[in-house]
Amino acid sequence: MSNVSKQVLVLNGPNLGRLGKRQPEIYGHTTFDELAAMCVEWGRGLGFTVDVRQTNHEGDMVDWLNAAADNGTPVVLNAAAWTHYSYAIYDACAQLSAPLIEVHISDPTRRPEVFRHTSVITEHAAAVVAGKGIDGYREALEILAREPGNN
């Protein structure tokens, strides 16, 4: 691959650091550390250097998205609960110049909680991958690899 050093951020919002412990019937048994290692490996196979991060603090996420905007860095984003209401994250995503892929482990539109059926992120995303479990992150990275300028 020609883009061995192409940086990609995989950003994860609140409670995703508890993967493997939190509602495994919805989110599976893979831990966050295992997910991060898989994303790095999947990305390497696609010619990316992947930086996987998770925060429970909205300001950290906004800062990371602003830096991605400034640096032209593609982003895979699982904003978790912020997906449904954070206009600060909406505004930060609006600034991105490189592709944004929105990812969700479960399919929010099939969840019983009606508030989960709305995403403020989707408007800014080149693609949305939802309901494919942890494998959705692999698919999101593959979509980025097909985006112009990333292959």
CATH number, domain containing residue 80? 3.40.50.9100
The annotation status of 78 as a binding-site residue, yes or no, is yes
Is the model's pLDDT at 2 over the cut of 60?
no
86 inside domain: yes
Active site residue 124: no
Residue-level pLDDT at 4: 42
Tokens 């048994």 found at: 29
Q: Would you state the structure tokens that stand for residue 5, as one six-digit string?
A: 């050093």
| pLDDT, tens only, 112-143 | 677 665 799 999 999 999 999 999 999 999 99
Is the model's pLDDT at 23 over the cut of 80?
no
The annotation status of 15 as a binding-site residue, yes or no, is no
27 inside domain: yes
The annotation status of 106 as a binding-site residue, yes or no, is yes
140 inside domain: yes
| pLDDT, tens only, 55-98 | 999 999 999 999 999 999 999 999 999 998 999 999 999 999 99
The annotation status of 116 as a binding-site residue, yes or no, is yes
What is the Cα–Cα distance from 10 to 125, expressed in whole angstroms? 14
Give the structural domain span for 142.
6-146
Residue in 27, 90, 124, 137 annotated catalytic: 27
Residue in 90, 104, 124, 137 annotated catalytic: 104
62 inside domain: yes
75 inside domain: yes
136 inside domain: yes
Contact 9, 74 (CB under 8 A): yes
What is the Cα–Cα distance from 92 to 62, expressed in whole angstroms? 6
The annotation status of 105 as a binding-site residue, yes or no, is yes
Residue-level pLDDT at 117: 58
61 inside domain: yes
What is the Cα–Cα distance from 52 to 33, expressed in whole angstroms? 9
1 inside domain: no
Residue-level pLDDT at 109: 76
Active site residue 104: yes
Total of domains in the chain: 1
Q: Would you state the structure tokens that stand for residue 40, as one six-digit string?
A: 């790095």
